[in-house]
Amino acid sequence: MSNSSVRVRFAPSPTGYLHVGGVRTALFNWLYARKTQGKFILRIEDTDIQRNKEEGTQIIMDGMKWSGMNWDEGPDIGGPYAPYYQSQRMDRYKQVAAELEKSGKAYWAKKDAGGPLPDWKIEKLKKQGKWDDEKAQAAQDPNPALYLKVNLKERKEITFHDAVKGDLSKPAETYQEEDGSTRDFVILRSNGMPVYNFACVVDDVDMKISHVIRGDDHVENTFRQIFIYEAWDQKIPVFAHLPMIFNEEGKKISKRRDPVAITLYQACGILPEALINFEALLGWSPGDGREIMPLDEIIREFSFERIKSAAAQFTLSRKRPPPVSAGGATTDPEVESQIVEWLSECMVGSKLEWINGEYLKKLSREELLKRATPFLQKKDYDLTQHSRGWLMDVIGMEQERSKTLKQLAENVALFFKAPEALDPKAVEKVLKKNDGLALLKEVRDQLAKIEEWSGPALDGLVKGFAEQRQLKLGIIAQPIRVALSGTTVSPPIHDTLHVLGQQESLRRIDKALELAGKM
C-alpha cells in the first residue's frame, strides 16, 4: 500500500524526558507521514554523551507510545537503515568526513585565529545562561578539528524554500571573513566526534529523509546544512520549520524550569488524544473554527500551508508560584506529586483542560473505567469491594462534571468514603435553614420504607415529598446532599442515593443528623 516516497523523522536527544515541544514536533512529522502514507522514523541523537541519560531512549519511546504516535523504523524495531542511534553510527560519519576531506571539501585545521570570543559576547552568553565551560574548552583544544570548506558558488545570498515560511535567505557575507576568506565550520571535533549539523545531514541522507520538519530554531542550521549537502553532492530535502512553542514568559521552553514533561500531564489526568488535539492547534488550524478534532480528521486536514509562522505560547491558566523550582526534572516522587498538584491547579480553566473535558465526555463507560482506574487506585479507594457495573455507574455520574481523570477520581470520593465531618458552611446554609434537619428526618423515614431502591423510584419519592409540602425541590434535595456528601455539591440526588445504596444512605443520614444536632 505504501508507495509514497515521503520519509520523515523525529530525532530527539535522550536527555531525560519527552516534553510538550518535542511532542509537537514529533506530531507534525507523524501527521505528515500518515497523511501521505509515508514513513515515520524515530532516530535517537545521542552524540552528546555528557547529557545523555541511560534510560533516555526508553522514556522517549514510552512517551511516544502514550501519545499514540507509532514509528515505522526506529531504535527498537530497526529498519532498512539501522542502526537508529547516532552513537552507533560514528564510523559512518567518519567515513563521510574522510570522503569530504579526500575530495578537498573539508580540511583539518587548528583555528584559534578567531581567538577567544569577544568579551561582550561571553558576557551575553553568561547572562543568557548559555555559557558552557566544556564547550569553551573544546574550542581551545590544541588538536585540529575537521572543517567544512564553505563554498559560496558566487552567490550573493544563500536561499532555500521552506514549506512553512516560504523563501528564506541569508546574505553570503555572513559566511565571509573581512579578508574575504570563507567562514568555515567544524564538522568533526578534535576528539573525532561529529557535530550535530554534520551527523544530522549524514543521517538524513542515509535514511533518505524527504522532508525535514522541525522547530524554527533550526532555521540557521539549515544554511550550514545546505553547505554540507552541496559539498557531499546530495539531494537537499524539503524543509518545513515549525513555529516555536514558548512558555508563559514568551521564551523558548526550558526543560529545566518549565513543567513540560509529558508524564506530568499524564499524571494530571490529561488524555493523550486531548493533548495531541491541543498541540495540533498550536500553530496549525483547519481554518474553519473546528477545535475538537479526532486524530483521523486532523490527519485528513493537515497541510504545511495552514501552519502559521508566529510562535505560540503553551499557556495554562492562572500563574501560581510553583512549589519547587524543578520543572519536572525530578526523580523524587514526593516532589513530583507536589508538582502534579500545582500543575493541576494551574490547568483549571485552560484550553487544554477544556479540550480534555470534551474528550472525557465522549469515552464509553468501559473505556473511562479503564483509563480512570490508576487514578482511583492512587486515591486508595478499595476497588475490589465493588462490581464493575457499580464502578461504571459511579464514574459515569461524574463524567460530565470532571475535566480530567484526576478530578474525576477526586469527585467520586463520596462514593468510596463516607464524609468524616460535615462542612460547617453547608450545615449553616442548608441544614439549619428552612427546617432542613426536620425535613431530613422525615425524608429519611420515607427512604427507609421505600420498596424499590432505583433511580426513577427515588426520583419520584424525593419529588413527591417536595410536592406534598409545596416546597421547591432544592429545599429537600440539599439537606440530603449535605448528609450524603458532607458538602453542597454532588451528582443529581436520586442517582447519588441509588448508587450509594439504601443501607449506606440511611447510615449517612443518621450520622449527619447526629453531627448536625451537635453543631
Partner RNA sequence: GGCCUCAUCGUCUAGCGGCAGGACGCUGGUCUCUCGAACCGGAAGCCGGAGUUCGAAUCUCCGUGAGGCUACCA
Q: What are the catalytic residues?
A: 255
Task: Tell me the three cell numbers of residue 70.
Answer: 507509532
User: Are 322 and 259 in contact, with CB atoms under 8 Å apart?
Assistant: yes
Q: What does each C-alpha distance from 4 to 35, 61, 80, 292 come to in angstroms?
A: 10, 25, 16, 29
Q: Is the dihedral of CA 125, 126, 129, 130 positive or negative?
A: positive
User: Are 62 and 146 in contact, with CB atoms under 8 Å apart?
Assistant: no
Question: ∠ CA(183), CA(189), CA(191), 5° rounding?
Answer: 155
User: Are 210 and 7 in contact, with CB atoms under 8 Å apart?
Assistant: yes
Q: Which of residues 62-101 bind RNA (CB under 7 A)?
A: none
Given the rule CB under 7 A, which of 60-68, 129-137, 261-269, 321-329 is the region that contacts RNA? Answer: 129-137
- Closest to 283 measured CA to CA, from 5, 24, 11, 13: 24
Residue 234, phi then psi, degrees to nearest 5: -120, 160
* C-beta closer to RNA: residue 448 or 473: 473
Q: Which of residues 336-375 bind RNA (CB under 7 A)?
A: 348-351, 353-354, 357
Residue type, 55: E
Q: What is the distance between the alpha carbons of residues 234 and 166, in angstroms, rounded to a whole number? A: 22
- Closest to 186 measured CA to CA, from 152, 236, 126, 135: 135
* C-beta closer to RNA: residue 155 or 306: 306
User: Are 308 and 281 in contact, with CB atoms under 8 Å apart?
Assistant: no
Choose which of 231, 493, 500, 512 interacts with RNA (CB under 7 A): 493
We find the least distance from the C-beta atom of residue 434 to RNA, in angstroms, to be: 13
Give 215's strand partners.
Answer: 242
Given the rule CB under 7 A, which of 269-277, 330-338, 384-392, 399-407 is the region that contacts RNA? Answer: 399-407
Given the rule CB under 7 A, which of 90-98, 202-210, 313-321, 435-443 is the region that contacts RNA? Answer: 313-321
Determine if 203 is a binding residue for RNA (CB under 7 A).
no
Q: Which of residues 451-480 bind RNA (CB under 7 A)?
A: 459, 466, 472-474, 477-478
Given the rule CB under 7 A, which of 95-103, 138-146, 265-273, 507-515 is the region that contacts RNA? Answer: 138-146
Determine if 143 is a binding residue for RNA (CB under 7 A).
yes
Q: What is the DSSP letter of 289?
A: -
User: Are 421 and 482 in contact, with CB atoms under 8 Å apart?
Assistant: no
Place of cell 499524571: 267
Determine if 190 is a binding residue for RNA (CB under 7 A).
yes
We find the least distance from the C-beta atom of residue 2 to RNA, in angstroms, to be: 28
- Closest to 237 measured CA to CA, from 263, 202, 285: 202
Choose which of 92, 379, 401, 511 interacts with RNA (CB under 7 A): 401
Q: Which of residues 38-67 bind RNA (CB under 7 A)?
A: 45, 47-48, 51
Q: Which of residues 403-432 bind RNA (CB under 7 A)?
A: 403
Task: Tell me the three cell numbers of residue 104.
Answer: 578537498
We find the least distance from the C-beta atom of residue 225 to RNA, in angstroms, to be: 10
What would the DSSP string read from start to end of 195-252?
Answer: PHHHHHHHHHHHTT--EEEEEGGGHHHHHHHHHHHHHHT----EEEEEPPEE-TTSSB
* C-beta closer to RNA: residue 6 or 26: 26
We find the least distance from the C-beta atom of residue 385 to RNA, in angstroms, to be: 25
We find the least distance from the C-beta atom of residue 282 to RNA, in angstroms, to be: 5
Determine if 141 is a binding residue for RNA (CB under 7 A).
yes
Determine if 185 is a binding residue for RNA (CB under 7 A).
yes
* C-beta closer to RNA: residue 243 or 419: 243
DSSP strand pairing (166-171 vs 157-162): antiparallel
- Where are the extended beta strands (E) located within 11-144? 39-42, 106-109
Determine if 206 is a binding residue for RNA (CB under 7 A).
no
Choose which of 308, 365, 432, 441 interacts with RNA (CB under 7 A): 308
We find the least distance from the C-beta atom of residue 438 to RNA, in angstroms, to be: 18
Given the rule CB under 7 A, which of 87-95, 312-320, 334-342, 511-519 is the region that contacts RNA? Answer: 312-320
* C-beta closer to RNA: residue 213 or 493: 493
Q: What is the distance between the alpha carbons of residues 292 and 279, in angstroms, rounded to a whole number? A: 12
Determine if 317 is a binding residue for RNA (CB under 7 A).
yes
Choose which of 70, 151, 285, 434 interacts with RNA (CB under 7 A): 285
